[in-house]
Chain A
Amino acid sequence: MRYSKRLRVASLAVVLGLAAAACGSSAKTTSTTATTKGGTATTAATAGSAAGATTAGSTAGGTSSGGTTFGGKLPDCFGNPTGTVTKGSKAGIAYDTGGRGDGTFNDSAARGADAAKTGLGVTIDELEAKTGDDRNPNLTTLSGNGDNPIIAVGFLFETDLLKIAAANPKTMYGIVDDVPPGANANIFSLVFAANEGSFLVGAAAALKSKSGHIGFIGGQDIDLIHNFEAGYDAGAKAVNSKIIIESKYLGAAGDNAAWTSPDKAKEIATGWYTSGADVIYSAAGGSGNGTIDAAVAAGDGKWAIGVDSDQYLTATPAQQKHILTSMVKHVDVATYDTIRAVGQGATKGAVCTFSLANDGVGYATSGGYVDDIKAKLDGYKADIISGKIVVPAK
């Protein structure tokens, strides 16, 4: 009966393993999204009530959710379609691992989908990848289901999307945070000028810093996050060329724990606050919460800057006093706009950059801590939009 004893040990391990795999998949989410802020995404519950949230246009009749206004002018990349969205037409969302309720990036796409459902009257079909093996079948299922457009949430869909988009030339696709190689007639690349938004929060950090010493905490050491750091550095240096900027990444590419280690971020941030830094920006998924907690612990005059969503809206009252601003990335608007544009007849794939110019990225003003420097920040914003300032991407 030694075998059955072994069997028991083994099965215990399998159960633990499956549990670990389940946890692992939620960690992976953030790796896909790479730029998001864990556990604090705004929800539909705060619809319309969000103070000072950025808007993506102000056309009457636009839908508002999570502090974002939907239904502004479509970016030019969609080719200015003029049709009307057919009520009841189907749009598909392929979430990456984590899916709805991940509190970050997938949730932001979900807000856009929800807004499209209520605002445009379309039917939304959603499939979520449980493992990497699900990405291809999920896109195929949605394609076979007659959904159009289909939005793949995250660059990890790239390889599969290229195959499936080629096989379904009449369906339009969107992919968030990625520009797939090659000319893709039916793919909209939905990318964000995170460096531009980061420039503004970098300027805010430098303007608010009394010590002339600030910091940046990145999640995985990958290009997507270097983009945030580059903008932040440029913004801070535009204000104060002698500013000291600390920088640290929580993990190497593929180290998915980097997005879910608030303890690590807290340790680093505490060290920097102690040595004199007073503003720290983190682009590190759920780990960013550790930076906010470190700022709370460090006391008055120590600030954290949020990323992706307006983190002030979902923070605790104690945390709110230390959230200077957030770099907001409107995946929700990109999702909504793609559904709307395709519904209105957009049929030519393109690269859509959501930038300061079209309010695809921006900084949050909740809490009123940047009110006194708002004029300066908006000045930088205007300069970036006009091309007077060119923000580095790496």
Chain B
Amino acid sequence: MDRQKLQRIGVTAASSVAAVLFALVICGIILLLTGRSPSHVYQTMWDAAGERRIQYDAIQRATPLMFAGCAVALGFKMNLFNIGVEGQYRIAALVTAIVGTRIGFLPAPLHVAVELAVACICGAAWAGIAAFMKVRRGVNEVIATIMLNAIAISLAAWLFNTYFRYTQGNSQNVTTRPIPRSGWMPDIVKDQLNGFFIVALLVVFAYWIVVFKSRFGFRLRASGHNDVAAKTSGISSKRMIVTALLLSGAVAGFIGMQQTLGDSHAYSSQGFVDGIGFLGIAVALLGRNHPIGIVLSALLFGLLAASATKLGLIKVPQEIVQIIEGVIVLSVVIVNEASGRWVDKRTQQRAAHAVEHHLTQQGVTA
């Protein structure tokens, strides 16, 4: 690895860390202004982060974020902004929960495998609508996916309410029929850490291989960087758009699986954890679309949220964590801009230096 590459990695990593620190400082100021001790708040969160249970919880929360981060990053790599992750995982979760109850005759590993395949297909299919609209009609994917999110929520609510609702006794907790045990994703630590964490790591690894190590990934990144140049060298950008969005949707399909197959073992309209698609954008941004970055930022977001649950005990509103997350995203942009300029300047200087050096050498020989 040459010096330049090392330097670039160093700058990128440092700027992400700087963004997080910057966010902590800003929130410290907010806490001070509201008459609370930042050190006490951060100490409480730090202590909480040392607890085994909170760590498991952090990983549990990070798991869907890793899927979401990869899904968004896949789009980013092709210069596409898949804001529709939200709708894609909702549709996937509903359909998977329904299919999961109907294939109970399958043995355990196969049952889960089929469920995951269904989730991927549903996510991809829902994203595919946006892809189709983009390549056929030139509809901007941002607009299309935002609209598809709204449609997904209503469609899921209608399907669920009309055909698939199920309740036990006097319970108000309306869900789809429970998925038989063979269709559950087993826990690593009972009720605390689900097996989907492993799946998430595998998906991130696959993301790395596909995007950074395969010929397809090279084409994808090339089209994302410079569409015209890629076209000139024979890469069909339409094909890349469709493939990238389908893959992105397929990965998005995994997001709701931990809840559906690992926790509630059914789909519920009202208990559904939403908003992960948006957080996924933050994770991809902070992680710079890099697999390791995505894992680390997902874990960071998970840990922040998990340790914040203790803040209620010292009467500090947990909203502070949402502020931290928001500021992190903003500072990522600011710090990235600054470090980008710095790297550009360095590159220019080096180039100028090299040219100068070259000229002097020529001058000497001439």
Contact = CB atoms under 8 A, between A and B. Distances in A.
Nearest to A130: B318
B297 interface: no
B325 A18 contact: yes
Contact of A132 (B160, B273, B306): B273
Interface string A152-182: 0001101100010001000000000111110
Interface residues of A, number: 62
Interface stretch (A49-57, A239-247, A249-257, A336-344): A249-257
A256 to B, nearest CB: 8
A221 B158 CA distance: 11
Interface stretch (A4-12, A38-46, A79-87, A260-268): A4-12
A318 interface: no
Interface string A178-218: 11110000000101000000000000000000000000000
A255 B154 contact: yes
B160 A253 contact: yes
Contact of A254 (B156, B325, B330): B156
Contact of B76 (A6, A18, A179): A6
Interface stretch (A105-113, A120-128, A274-282, A309-317): A120-128
Nearest to B308: A130
Contact of A24 (B170, B275, B333): B275
B260 to A, nearest CB: 12
Interface in A134-154: 134, 136-138, 140-141, 144-145
Given A8-B333, A133-B273, A128 B340 contact: no
A7 B285 contact: yes
A375 interface: no
B27 to A, nearest CB: 14
Contacts of A128: 312, 318
Contact of B272 (A3, A222, A223, A254): A254
B263 to A, nearest CB: 7
Contact of B157 (A9, A134, A144, A255): A255
A361 to B, nearest CB: 16
Counting chain B CB atoms within 10 Å of each CB, the highest count among A31, A131, A224, A254 belongs to A254
Given A14-B278, A253-B161, A254-B157, A181 B322 contact: no
A60 interface: no
A9 B81 contact: yes
A18 B322 contact: yes
A21 interface: yes
Given A24-B275, A158-B173, A223-B172, A252 B158 contact: yes
A163 B168 contact: no
Given A7-B336, A11-B329, A181 B275 contact: no
B33 interface: no
Given A253-B161, A254-B156, A178 B310 contact: no
Contacts of A159: 173, 263-264, 271
Given A4-B336, A4-B340, A10-B76, A179 B306 contact: no
29 contacts: A2-B79, A4-B337, A6-B79, A6-B81, A7-B285, A11-B332, A14-B281, A14-B282, A17-B278, A17-B281, A18-B329, A21-B275, A21-B278, A21-B279, A24-B275, A127-B309, A131-B305, A132-B271, A134-B305, A155-B172, A167-B191, A178-B170, A179-B170, A179-B171, A191-B170, A224-B172, A251-B157, A254-B156, A254-B272
Given A10-B81, A132-B259, 5 more contacts: A137-B54, A138-B312, A179-B172, A180-B171, A254-B157
